[in-house]
Amino acid sequence: RKEVEQDPGPFNVPEGATVAFNCTYSNSASQSFFWYRQDCRKEPKLLMSVYSSGNEDGRFTAQLNRASQYISLLIRDSKLSDSATYLCVVNEAAGNKLTFGGGTRVLVKP
């Protein structure tokens, strides 16, 4: 079983629609969680950290469920520019070892 698992997609989303997807992690001692965005042939870029109480950044909302060991990302009012691969990232208790999920590909279409 992979340590961090994601649905690879693609999620085909009409422009303006809402899309949500999850990520599960296996290490219950994980301490910090992130969503990164990666465009084709580019480096990953931090989209947002995920806090226990859930957090929102504009059209993006992240949730953490420690009991069930998953995090989620919701994108509202999808834009064409939201098309990318979204990487779920978990930081182990040691504070330095990131474990990446395989990514969820999102395609926003007109």
Partner 1 sequence: NAGVTQTPKFQVLKTGQSMTLQCAQDMNHEYMSWYRQDPGMGLRLIHYSVGAGITDQGEVPNGYNVSRSTTEDFPLRLLSAAPSQTSVYFCASSYEGHYGYTFGSGTRLTVV
3-state SS assignment for residue 51? coil
CB 9, min distance to partner 1, A:
14
Task: Give the interface segment with partner 1, choosing from 18-26, 61-69, 70-78, 92-100 (CB under 8 A).
Answer: 92-100
Q: What is the DSSP string of 67-107?
A: TTTEEEEEE-S--GGG-EEEEEEEE-TTSS-EEE---EEEE
Out of 21, 60, 70, 100, the residue judged to bind partner 1 by CB under 8 A: 100
Beta-bridge mates of residue 63: 72
Two tokens at 55?
């957090």
CB 71, min distance to partner 1, A:
14
Nearest CB to partner 1, comparing residues 49 and 55? 49
Interface residues with partner 1 (CB under 8 A) are 31-32, 34, 42-46, 49, 87, 91, 94-103
